[in-house]
Structures are given as C-alpha cells and as structure tokens.
Amino acid sequence: MKSYIVGNWKMNFTVGESSVYLHKLSARIHAYRDIEVVVAPSLVALQPLSLQIDRKKLRLAAQTANPRDFGAYTGEVSAAQLRGIVDYCIIGHSERRQLFHESDKFIRAAVAATLRNQIKPILCVGETETERTFGETFDVLRDQVLGGLSEVSAEELEKVIIAYEPVWAISTTSGASMASPDDIAEAVKFIRRIIADAYGKEISKSIAVLYGGSVNPDNAGAYLTIPGVNGLLVGGASLIADQFVDIIETAKKVKS
C-alpha cells in the first residue's frame, strides 16, 4: 500500500512565500512510486501553486471545503470550485471542529462533496484530552468515523483517507503530552475494526490511515512503523523544509 506524507501549512506563508517554499521543496525531493507527498497551503495560494507544482513529486490539498457546490455563502469555497486545482482535501481537522464549530453534519456532507467532485477527502478524527480522560476515546472515534463516512459507498471508500489526530497531542513539545506508539496502534486498530464492521474486512485492510499529532523528524520513524499506519499528517514540521524532507526520507527508508 502507498504511504502518504501530508503537510498541513495551516494559516502560514503568503502566496509569494508559498511559491518559494514549494520550489525549494520540489528541488529537494524525488518522485516516489510508493510515497505520495501532499502539501496543503492556505486557500489563496492553491490556484497559483497548482500551475507551479510538479505533480510527479507533489500533490495539492485544500484545508477545508464547503459541502454546497454553489450559492449565497459569503466567504466560503466549495469542493466544486476546488475541482481541478487540488487532488485532496482535509476534512474535519480538529481546529475546524473546535474553532469554527464544524458539525458532524457539515463534515459528513463535505466528505460526500469532495468525492462528488473527484477530490479525495482526508477525514480527520480524534478525541480531546477531556474525552480521553473520561475513557470516551472509542466512542468519539466510532461517532466521527461512522458519521463522516455515512454517505460514502463501499466503492467510494477506496478514495478516502482517514487521519487519526488525538487533539491532546497536537502542537505539543512536551513528551508527557505526545501520543505513544501503543496509544496510536490501539486507536488505529479500532478505526479499522469500525470500517470492517461497516464495510467488510477487505476494505478495512486497504483503506489508508494516517497519524497526525506533533510529528517531527525525531518521532516520524517510530510512528511510521506502527502496524496499520500508512503515513503522517504533519503540521509545524511541514513549514520547515529541512524537517519535512527528513520526514519524507524517513518514510522512504521505512517503506524500503
């Protein structure tokens, strides 16, 4: 199965800075047969970068999309408008759920909209620290996975990527707050069990599941060797070329 290294730039870099960074990154990596490298710039940079990017080496992702194709929704951008510009779209990132109050209904519709417009969704799921403390991790994962995929057919599921990102482990430099390989392995195994129950064991084995949460060059190798993990969703480290390239090279070593 192919591995995925996805860099989420969040609200960083101007259009010019994005272009310079993309050029630098493209010059330092190769075209990998078994690794898909994806970057998710801010919205304003997507269209110009789509004209610059070398798709043999890199793919573009949007950081969110409105599930409605068109309409009177000031400030929003739809999956229909992103079609032909991006190959992937991050849906339901914890920051979108928490800061912008994206509901389960919105996320479910956004997953369906991206698929409808030939864009592969990267569905993010994960529990908060409070939910983890109260032993609700599995309940949260079940609700978010089944909710996000409720309008997805078995045939469409092969185009979906799931990213497990425990909210309590995102953007942390404290070892005490970082997810252990055992934590991640248990959650990923449970996610695949949910898929197996809903869609069958064969599909649960073939769907790509990524891990995201304070990924850096030092821990990338350990995360990539966890059974059932097919790649990484990288935040802060994806903004630093040396670190992101190191993570990609680590993925290549693990793959080979």
Catalytic residue positions, numbered: 93, 165
Q: Cα–Cα distance between 210 and 224 in angstroms, integer?
A: 9
**How far lies 113's CA from each of 18, 86, 98, 107, 109, in Å?**
27, 14, 21, 10, 6
Residue type, 66: N
Place of tokens 């951008």: 77
Measured distance CA(215)–CA(237) in Å, rounded: 7
